[in-house]
């Protein structure tokens, strides 16, 4: 069974601070995706990383895929209250099924 | 616009009853998934399908079944609802490997 360990589970920070969320596994994934979920809604895709060592940037968010394609990180620079939400990493198996981590609930206070 | 819809959005049922949750997508995606989301557990995969007549068990499939008779729909059936199946259920679809998964709005199921 493929498992994704996501940390931290909860994060409460002040506006302007930086943060990093980690997603680790003992399994190799075809790709790794990061989603963000608002209360009462389904998750929405932020980014997909496919190649080992790949780095992608989305405004103040930086995503990195580990060289061995087993782990990933999400770094947010100068967090804003609008970044508040549940961040989920998902590893994609060889046939396209998605396995999710438990999520990181981020709260950014003004 | 293409979309994925779940129904009902909320349901209360009694222990032992059979319940079916609907999921319909208009993207013509081959891959469809059912997850449940509980506090402390994140999204856990119940069943998934890679195409018509194809169904596969996920990590928490006991007590649930799915059928795929067409591309658009993947209904989830709880054979005999239990209180442990009280949860929020999400359906998702995606085109293939490395592509975005689109999620429905979720169904909040309460088993009393």
Query: Between the CA of residue A104 and those of A10, A22, B91, what are the distances in Å?
Result: 5, 9, 21
Winning range, highest mean pLDDT, from A91-100, B32-41, B77-86? B77-86
Written as one string, the DSSP assignment of B16-71 is T--EEEEEEESS--SEEEEEEEETTTEEEEEEEEEETTEEEE-TT-TTEEE--SSS
Closest CA of chain A from B5, distance in Å:
11
Nearest Cβ partner for B98 among A31, A42, A97: A31
Q: Which residue of B has its CA nearest to A32?
A: B98
pLDDT at position A2 over 80: no
* Chains A–B, number of C-beta pairs less than 8 Å apart: 68
CB contact under 8 A, B101 and A33: yes
Strand partners, A26: none
pLDDT at position B38 over 90: yes
Q: Which residue of B has its CA nearest to A86?
A: B42
User: What are the tens digits of pLDDT across the range B44-95?
Assistant: 999 999 999 999 999 999 999 999 999 999 999 999 999 999 999 999 999 9
Local confidence band at B98 (pLDDT 50, 70, 90 cut-offs): confident
Mean pLDDT of A96-103: 90
User: What are the tens digits of pLDDT across the range A6-35?
Assistant: 999 999 999 999 999 999 998 888 889 999
The reported pLDDT for the residue numbered A60 is: 97
The reported pLDDT for the residue numbered A53 is: 93
The reported pLDDT for the residue numbered A1 is: 59
Q: Which residue of B has its CA nearest to A48?
A: B98
Q: Which residues on chain B are in Cβ contact (under 8 Å) with A43?
A: 43, 90, 101, 103
By C-alpha distance, which of A97, A5, A30 is closest to B45?
A97
User: What are the tens digits of pLDDT across the range A54-91?
Assistant: 999 999 999 999 999 889 999 999 999 999 999 999 99
pLDDT at position B1 over 90: no
The reported pLDDT for the residue numbered B39 is: 85
């Amino acid at each position: 069974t493929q498992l994704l360990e996501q940390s931290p589970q909860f994060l409460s920070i002040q506006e302007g601070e930086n943060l990093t969320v980690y997603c680790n596994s003992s399994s190799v994934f075809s790709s790794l995706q990061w989603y963000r979920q608002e209360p009462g809604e389904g998750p929405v895709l932020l980014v997909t990383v496919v190649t080992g060592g790949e780095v992608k940037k989305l405004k103040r968010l930086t995503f990195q895929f580990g060289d061995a394609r087993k782990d990933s990180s999400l770094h947010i620079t100068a967090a804003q209250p609008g970044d508040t939400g549940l961040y989920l990493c998902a590893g994609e198996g060889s046939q396209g099924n998605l396995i999710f981590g438990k999520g990181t609930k981020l709260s950014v206070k003004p | 616009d293409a979309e994925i819809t779940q129904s009902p959005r909320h349901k209360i049922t009694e222990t032992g009853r059979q319940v079916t949750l609907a999921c319909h997508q208009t993207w013509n995606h081959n891959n469809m998934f059912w997850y449940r989301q509980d506090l402390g557990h994140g999204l856990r995969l119940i069943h998934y399908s890679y195409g018509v007549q194809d169904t596969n068990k996920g990590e928490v499939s006991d007590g649930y079944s799915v059928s795929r008779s067409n591309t658009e729909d993947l209904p989830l059936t709880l054979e005999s609802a239990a209180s442990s199946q009280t949860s929020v259920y999400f359906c998702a679809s995606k085109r293939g490997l490395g592509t975005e998964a689109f999620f429905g709005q979720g169904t909040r199921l309460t088993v009393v």
